[in-house]
Amino acid sequence: MDTSVIDERPPEPGRPEPESPERARTAYARPQPHGSLPDLVHGELLPADERLWVPQSPDVSFRPLVFGVAQGYYVNLLRVRRSGVLSRHRHAGPVHATILRGRWRYLEHDWEAVEGGYAYEPPGEVHTLVVPDGVAEMITMFHVTGSLVYVDPDGRATGYEDVFTKLDLARRHYAAVGLGADLADGFCR
Ligand code: FE
């Protein structure tokens, strides 16, 4: 698009007034709203420092991106380096999954999550995560709201996971490997 040309048409409802190219490049001049939280940036999603991956069970680890303690959610990369059944669980809130590497599926569905793809899991969904044979590694960014309740095949609760169990694991691990528990606290919003 040629940005030097000003759109002379009258603005439609909901569309911003056209600006000159110079004004369009001008940064917001006022303070951020009072009460808004500081932003949070990770330079590389797949870090060179292996210590940033928090072991969760054999061959399963996660790399936390945001601990949403004020709203009960977390965003993390889940990395699985073995094939087979991972866990059966029920979600209290919605889940957004972006698949960065490998592939996986749920026993309860006939679709497969593939590298480069995305999946939405609705609240109330119960499923059993499986990494197929031949997949040496899968890495998925999961945005999980609410709790993840581990269940037996009849839906009876056997355990749970939420932003606070994840934060606790990360704090302990980062302290143990010399990064410091404070690093995990810095991901809290
Ligand atoms: Fe799930």
The CATH number of the domain where 179 resides is what? 2.60.120.10
Does a structural domain hold residue 34?
no
- Assign 3-state DSSP to the chain and report helix, strand, coil percentages, each to 5: 15, 40, 50
Residue 2 is predicted with a pLDDT of 60
Print the SS3 string covering 125-166: CEEEEEECCCCCCEEEEEEEECCEEEECCCCCEEEEECHHHH
Q: What is the pLDDT at residue 4?
A: 64
Q: Is residue 40 part of a domain?
A: no
Q: What is the CA(90)–ligand 1 centre distance, in A?
A: 7
Does residue 103 fall inside a structural domain? yes
**Which residue's structure tokens are 């210590």?**
51
Using the mean position of ligand 1's atoms as its centre, give its distance from the Cα of residue 127 in Å. Answer: 6
Residue 160, pLDDT score:
97
Domain range for residue 60? 54-185
2: in domain: no
In a domain, 143, yes or no: yes
Query: Would you say residue 4 lies in a domain?
Result: no
Q: Which amino acid is at 164?
A: F
pLDDT along the chain (189 residues), means of 10: 67 82 94 95 95 96 98 98 95 97 97 98 97 96 97 97 98 98 98
Spatial CB neighbours of 68, under 8 Å, sequence gap ≥ 6: 74, 75, 145, 163, 188, 189
Beta partners for residue 36, in sequence order: none
How high is the pLDDT of residue 16? 81
CA of 5 to the centre of ligand 1 (A): 48
Residue 85 resides in a domain? yes
Domain count, the chain: 1
Q: What is the pLDDT of residue 74?
A: 98
- Establish if 155 belongs to a structural domain: yes
Q: What is the pTM of this model?
A: 0.90
